[in-house]
Amino acid sequence: MSGFGIRTAFDIARKSLRAQLAGLNVTGNNIANVNTKGFSRQEVTLVSDFPIITPDGIFGSGVKLEGVRRIRDKLVDRQLRNEMHTKGKNEALERVLNQIETTFNEPSETGLRVLLSQFFDNFHALANDPENATTRFNLRESSKVLIESFYRIDKQSRVLSDDIDFELRRSVETLNSLTAQIAELNSQIVAVEGASKGGANDLRDQRDRVLDDISELIDIFPLEKPNGTVDVAAQAQTLVTSNFSFELEVVTKSENDNLISEIIVSETGNIFEANNGKIFALVQARNEIIPHFRDLLNELANGLITKVNDIHRTGVGLQGTALEIPKNNDFFTGDSAANIDLSQAIKDDVNAIAAASRVDTLLENGQIVTSGSPGDNKIALEIANLKLMRVLSNGTESLIDFFDSIIGEVGIAAKEAHDNVLNEERIITQFQNIRDSTSGVSLDEEFVNLIKYQRGFQAGARLITTIDDMFETLINM
């Protein structure tokens, strides 16, 4: 048939109704998903249908529904994901460093620092009254509390390390489930899009959301293939290729005195190293940060043990004169925060604490008798003065300075991580706003569309009744 006629008019009206109804559906879907995370608004693509060419001229043949597309800016997605890695990393680091800060519990009236200071002050008290049993008991008790404090920090840092490992394992499990979801979505998208011309908008939204989630965990390079699937790689390791995902797992190793965690690819056993994101931060915290602070604490404990012992060995306890002096007259035993302890002699008897210097007398029979006098406080004074002596870090820091440096280091690192998190949050908000501005649903806009399509539908319906009237006119002629 050529030319235009009433039938053509009916056809145009029919197509119009269909197109307006599709528009209404899409609008309804947008409104319904206004609060759905990761949803991109959709719109119907309407084009004017192929024109009809008649001898009288070229006539439009109404509207054609070409499909439904989602509005999305892939560049913003990429930028946003880049920031997500960094945010994921800094958030995890901040949490870990805050926990380390809590472990040290400074500044505080009951922290290690105050106890260390009191320990030396009690040697002054001993020096002031070396014969007094009470000052000796005080000194022993304060030493015990100091030792407990070392144990507590050491134990808490090991517990923290285990907690981090637990969180790492959970994150890797999450990652595995996310990559598996990508693989699943890949095959669904191919199935849907292969069957119809229209894009699998909602599945793609879901996949983009999963990619966002992965980005918080590790740094990834998603690459979309022409067939609609996305391959995901992190560093040199492929995690997803079309509908197959590679699982990762965490293995624990022991290094020096510390337990460390490594991530391996389950299938190949190759070591997987993240460069950014939460998983990277957790590995770094467990394998480097915690061991680093434990090392520092051990250095402090060891410094305390050796320096005090060096002096204490040259003294004698309050044991009267001419008594056999134990050969190894140590104050502390052990060499680290985990095993520092009082020597057995001092545990047994406070009078074994040496305040006096040792006098060796050679007897006529060749025997050497060591003795000290009860009022002598030379050794006690020397140990008390250790408090201010720069005996660590190549003679630049006292024991207390050294501890202050540890606290300073934790504080600076925690502050830096916190500032970075704030910064990243602002950047991410910016990008999210940009993304929302493109892909987000505006209810006002949808209400306008609602009315637009309603009016369109009303007009299309009016067209039909008008044509119907015209038909009736013709029939009644």
Which residue ranges make up the site for other proteins (CB under 8 A)? 34-35, 97-98, 101, 106-107, 113-114, 117, 120-121, 124-125, 127-129, 131-132, 356, 373-378, 381, 384-385, 387-388, 400, 404, 407-408, 410-412, 414-415, 418, 429, 432-433, 436-438, 440-445, 447-448, 451
186 C-beta neighbours (distance < 10 Å), count:
25
Q: How far is the CB of 119 from other proteins (least distance, A)?
A: 11
User: Between 125 and 350, whose beta carbon lies closer to other proteins?
Assistant: 125
User: Between 118 and 339, whose beta carbon lies closer to other proteins?
Assistant: 118
Q: What token pair was written down for 139?
A: 């000194």
Q: Which of 151, 140, 146 is nearest to 112 (CA)?
A: 146
Handedness of CA 189, 193, 199, 200 (dihedral sign): negative
User: Between 80 and 356, whose beta carbon lies closer to other proteins?
Assistant: 356
Cβ pair 232, 267 in contact under 8 A: no
User: Between 120 and 331, whose beta carbon lies closer to other proteins?
Assistant: 120
Residues written for the chain? 477
Q: How far is the CB of 408 from other proteins (least distance, A)?
A: 5
Cβ pair 16, 33 in contact under 8 A: no
Distance CA 130, CA 353 (A): 10
Q: How far is the CB of 153 from other proteins (least distance, A)?
A: 14
183 C-beta neighbours (distance < 10 Å), count:
21
Distance CA 258, CA 157 (A): 11
Q: How far is the CB of 134 from other proteins (least distance, A)?
A: 11
User: Between 70 and 387, whose beta carbon lies closer to other proteins?
Assistant: 387
Q: How far is the CB of 208 from other proteins (least distance, A)?
A: 15
Q: How far is the CB of 215 from other proteins (least distance, A)?
A: 19
Distance CA 243, CA 308 (A): 65
Our CA angle for 350, 351, 357, nearest 5°, is 130
271-272 and 332-333: which strand pairing? Answer: unpaired
User: Between 310 and 425, whose beta carbon lies closer to other proteins?
Assistant: 425
Q: How far is the CB of 410 from other proteins (least distance, A)?
A: 6
Buried b (16+ CB within 10 A) or exposed e, 127-141: bebbbeeebbebbbe
